[in-house]
């Protein structure tokens, strides 16, 4: 497929904020995409050139992009910077400049979507001496082969800042709409998938909706789902199963602050488990004994955790497990804080030393696949029995998660206290009869922990410090996610970070290093950042506020910790903020 076709769609998509219109535009585009280009188009629609669980970054700064545009257009860098400051959109500046070129009478180029992915990946892998120069020439070459409109979007993709606001849900709805039209069914506006409770007779549209959503959840591959929907229809979609070795989006919990409300939500009797303060690990073991480990962000971390691989060798059957890896101090027999073990996720060298210094205990709390079949739809109770059957109980190494079946509030209260005393974050409550729902935040898994006034947010802006803080980014603008997948601002924090390493904790300098490559634009002391780094913040209160695009402001937000186990798409949402705002109003009454 030609890249120009996709760019026409980008343009139309960027001209509407309405989700239904975006859905229809993508559904129309899907008609034109050949099977063999579906994977590329799905990635590019999200502005990506690698699958979402691949953390490879293109690493192109706006400075380099400006030099490349200068090379391709013949315009001076100073002039480009000036125009960029005026419009705030480097892609548009690039388009305007290139449309003045002679050959730009051509409305499109010969670039295909495959060329774009290939070219971008090539740029990201250029290393070593002279690499900046080579990157520059490769980008300029790509721009020279592109039409002005294509160049606009190429630059945005290169800067990982596509800005057309397409949420995963919009892509799902577009596949549904496309499939319904393709199979000659009546199209009704896409809305939320049907809920289990209104399970009367499903209309064809509802059936398709459920089948597409489930197939996405199981395969985590929208391109495969779109192609299957095209050729094999409903039956084909239903036949897409979990594949050992392919990471699945995890099920997420809702939160409650009161025991009574939590129990009402999950039903009694309920399963109670410790909420360990570690990080989530999805374990895959195939029939031949090949073991693969993924984080919650679906990154492959098998090499970083040879200890966990050894534990899983003791599990003799093929399986997919959902677990929490918790830092464990063998001397004291106590759990250690998440902060300490989080470095194990990123470490690529001295792995054996780090493994000895910071051992983990693997707590298995769910199972999705067992021996030859998927078991994630079976009731929790049954899945738990399988866990107890196949997982050895070896505290300090690997074990089924600590669990109690509770019948009354008093039992929950005392389990909660016991869990906190053992150094855990809180407890999880689970519905005994419920299935596992990949990728959803569901009411049959509920978390309770003491401090609820915290959010996971992404940093979208900052300010260069002065005096002894000069050289560091200091005051940080933070954002949450709205329903359409846009990052909306909710406040600014400056506290919680340390000036000196000796003080313990994350420093301004560390955060500045992490953010440096994400700078999109600078004006005076202010910088605008690509939404990439996720942090947890605490705050005193949420207020309504016209100053931020979310319509809310956090009062006294302070940094708690980096959440590098979370993707920006997984941060707190505007509806979490609204819920917290309502809960706070309830408490203040």
**Catalytic center residues:** 275
Q: Omega of the bond prior to 183 within 30 degrees of 0, cis?
A: no
**Which one of 152, 275, 383, 437 is in contact with ligand ATP (CB under 6 A)?**
275
Which element (helix H / strand E) includes 247? none
**Which one of 28, 252, 309, 420 is in contact with ligand ATP (CB under 6 A)?**
252
Residue 96: half-sphere exposure toward Cβ, Cα within 13 Å: 11
Which residue, among 6, 48, 43, has the nearest Cα to 28 in the 3D structure? 6
Q: Give residues 119-178 in contact with ligand ATP (rule: CB under 6 A).
A: none
CB 540 within 8 A of CB 453: yes
Q: Does 528 bind ligand ATP (CB under 6 A)?
A: no
Q: Does 280 bind ligand ATP (CB under 6 A)?
A: yes
Is 140 or 252 the residue whose CB approaches ligand ATP more closely? Answer: 252
CB of 427 to ligand ATP, least distance (A): 8
Q: Omega of the bond prior to 552 within 30 degrees of 0, cis?
A: no
Which residue, among 509, 517, 550, has the nearest Cα to 533 in the 3D structure? 517
CB 542 within 8 A of CB 584: yes
**Which one of 10, 178, 276, 380 is in contact with ligand ATP (CB under 6 A)?**
276
Is 42 or 362 the residue whose CB approaches ligand ATP more closely? Answer: 362
CB 291 within 8 A of CB 313: yes
Is 142 or 412 the residue whose CB approaches ligand ATP more closely? Answer: 412
Q: Is 435 helix (H, G, I), strand (E, B) or coil?
A: coil
CB of 255 to ligand ATP, least distance (A): 7
Of 97-105, 173-181, 271-279, 505-513, the window that binds ligand ATP (rule: CB under 6 A) is 271-279
Is 364 or 521 the residue whose CB approaches ligand ATP more closely? Answer: 364
The residues, ordered by sequence, that sit 6+ positions from 37 with a Cβ below 8 Å of its Cβ are 1, 112, 113, 114
Of 60-68, 228-236, 273-281, 463-471, the window that binds ligand ATP (rule: CB under 6 A) is 273-281
Per rule CB under 6 A, count of chain residues that contact ligand ATP: 13
- First-to-last alpha carbon distance for the chain, in angstroms, is 59
CB of 288 to ligand ATP, least distance (A): 28
CB of 419 to ligand ATP, least distance (A): 10
Binding mask 208-247 for ligand ATP (x = CB under 6 A): ----------------------------------------
CB atoms within 10 A of CB 408: 11
Cα–Cα distance measured from residue 5 to residue 9, given in angstroms and rounded to the nearest whole number = 7
Q: Does 256 bind ligand ATP (CB under 6 A)?
A: no
CB of 503 to ligand ATP, least distance (A): 24
Binding mask 374-413 for ligand ATP (x = CB under 6 A): ---------------------------x------------
Of 52-60, 268-276, 509-517, 574-582, the window that binds ligand ATP (rule: CB under 6 A) is 268-276
Q: Does 415 bind ligand ATP (CB under 6 A)?
A: no
Which element (helix H / strand E) includes 282? strand 279-285
Is 26 or 323 the residue whose CB approaches ligand ATP more closely? Answer: 323
Q: Does 324 bind ligand ATP (CB under 6 A)?
A: yes
Cα–Cα distance measured from residue 555 to residue 561, given in angstroms and rounded to the nearest whole number = 18
Cα–Cα distance measured from residue 124 to residue 143, given in angstroms and rounded to the nearest whole number = 16
Cα–Cα distance measured from residue 46 to residue 153, given in angstroms and rounded to the nearest whole number = 12
Q: Does 282 bind ligand ATP (CB under 6 A)?
A: no
CB of 210 to ligand ATP, least distance (A): 23
Q: Does 273 bind ligand ATP (CB under 6 A)?
A: yes
CB 102 within 8 A of CB 127: no
Residues in the chain: 589
CB of 44 to ligand ATP, least distance (A): 29
CB of 580 to ligand ATP, least distance (A): 13
Q: Give residues 296-315 in contact with ligand ATP (rule: CB under 6 A).
A: 296
Q: Does 428 bind ligand ATP (CB under 6 A)?
A: yes
Of 191-199, 267-275, 348-356, 576-584, the window that binds ligand ATP (rule: CB under 6 A) is 267-275
Q: Does 561 bind ligand ATP (CB under 6 A)?
A: no
CB 529 within 8 A of CB 489: no
**Which one of 249, 344, 437, 447 is in contact with ligand ATP (CB under 6 A)?**
447
Q: Does 253 bind ligand ATP (CB under 6 A)?
A: yes
CB of 565 to ligand ATP, least distance (A): 7
CB 562 within 8 A of CB 339: no
CB 247 within 8 A of CB 282: yes
Is 159 or 391 the residue whose CB approaches ligand ATP more closely? Answer: 391
Residue 327 backbone dihedrals phi, psi, to 5 degrees: -65, 140
Residue 385: half-sphere exposure toward Cβ, Cα within 13 Å: 7
Looking at the DSSP bridge assignments, the partners of residue 522 are 527
Binding mask 344-373 for ligand ATP (x = CB under 6 A): ---------------------x--------
Q: Is 186 helix (H, G, I), strand (E, B) or coil?
A: coil
CB atoms within 10 A of CB 482: 18
CB of 415 to ligand ATP, least distance (A): 12
Cα–Cα distance measured from residue 120 to residue 138, given in angstroms and rounded to the nearest whole number = 9
The DSSP code sequence of 370-419 is ETTEE-TTS-HHHHHHHHHHHS--BTTTEEEPPEEEE-SHHHHHHHHHHH
Is 7 or 271 the residue whose CB approaches ligand ATP more closely? Answer: 271
Which residues make up the interface to ligand ATP (CB under 6 A)?
A: 252-253, 273-276, 280, 296, 324, 365, 401, 428, 447
């Amino acid at each position: 497929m030609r890249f120009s076709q996709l760019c026409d769609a980008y343009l139309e998509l960027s001209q509407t904020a309405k989700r239904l219109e975006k859905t229809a535009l993508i559904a129309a585009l899907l008609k034109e995409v050949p099977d063999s280009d579906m994977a590329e188009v799905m990635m590019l629609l999200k502005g990506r050139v690698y699958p979402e669980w691949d953390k490879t970054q293109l690493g192109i700064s706006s400075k380099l992009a400006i030099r490349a545009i200068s090379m391709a257009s013949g315009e001076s860098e100073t002039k480009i910077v000036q125009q960029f400051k005026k419009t705030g959109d480097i892609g548009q500046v690039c388009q305007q400049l290139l449309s003045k070129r002679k050959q730009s009478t051509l409305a499109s180029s010969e670039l295909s979507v495959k060329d774009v992915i290939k070219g971008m990946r090539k740029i990201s892998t250029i290393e070593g001496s002279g690499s900046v120069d080579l990157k520059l020439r490769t980008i300029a070459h790509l721009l020279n082969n592109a039409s002005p409109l294509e160049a606009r979007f190429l630059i945005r993709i290169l800067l990982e800042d596509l800005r057309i606001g397409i949420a995963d849900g919009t892509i799902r709805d577009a596949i549904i709409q496309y499939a319904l039209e393709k199979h000659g069914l009546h199209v009704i506006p896409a809305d939320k998938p049907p809920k289990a409770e209104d399970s009367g007779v499903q209309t064809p549209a509802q059936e398709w909706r459920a089948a597409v959503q489930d197939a996405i959840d199981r395969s985590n591959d929208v391109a495969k789902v779109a192609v299957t929907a095209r050729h094999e229809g409903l039956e084909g979609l239903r036949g897409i199963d979990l594949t050992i070795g392919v990471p699945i989006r995890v099920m997420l919990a809702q939160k409650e602050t009161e025991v009574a409300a939590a129990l009402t939500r999950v039903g009694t009797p309920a399963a109670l488990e410790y909420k360990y303060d570690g990080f989530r690990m999805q374990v895959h073991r195939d029939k031949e004994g090949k073991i693969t480990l993924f984080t919650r962000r679906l990154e492959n971390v098998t090499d970083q955790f040879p200890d966990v691989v050894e534990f899983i060798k003791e599990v003799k059957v093929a399986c997919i497990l959902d677990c929490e890896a918790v830092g464990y101090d063998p001397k004291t027999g106590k759990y250690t804080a998440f902060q300490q073990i989080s470095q194990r996720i990123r470490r690529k060298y001295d792995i054996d030393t780090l493994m000895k210094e910071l051992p983990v205990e693997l707590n298995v709390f769910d199972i999705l696949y067992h021996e030859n079949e998927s078991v994630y739809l079976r009731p929790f109770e049954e899945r738990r029995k399988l866990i107890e059957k196949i997982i050895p109980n070896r505290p300090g190494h690997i074990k089924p998660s600590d669990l109690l079946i509770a019948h009354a509030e008093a039992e929950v209260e005392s389990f909660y206290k016991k869990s906190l005393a053992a150094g855990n974050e809180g407890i999880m409550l689970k519905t005994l009869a419920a299935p596992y729902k990949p990728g959803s935040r569901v009411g049959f898994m509920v978390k309770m922990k003491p401090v609820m006034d915290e959010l996971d947010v992404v940093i979208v802006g900052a300010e260069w410090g002065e005096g002894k803080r000069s050289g560091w980014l200091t005051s940080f603008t933070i954002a949450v996610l709205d329903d359409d997948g846009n990052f909306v601002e909710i406040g600014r924090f400056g506290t919680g970070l340390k000036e000196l390493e000796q003080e313990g904790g994350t420093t301004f300098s560390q955060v500045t290093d992490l953010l440096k490559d994400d700078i999109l634009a600078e004006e005076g002391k202010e910088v605008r950042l690509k939404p990439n780094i996720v942090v947890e913040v605490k705050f005193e209160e949420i207020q309504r506020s016209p100053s931020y695009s979310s319509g809310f402001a956090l009062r006294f937000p302070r940094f708690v910790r980096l959440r590098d186990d979370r993707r920006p798409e997984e941060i707190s949402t505007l509806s979490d903020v609204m819920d917290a705002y309502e809960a706070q109003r309830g408490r203040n009454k």
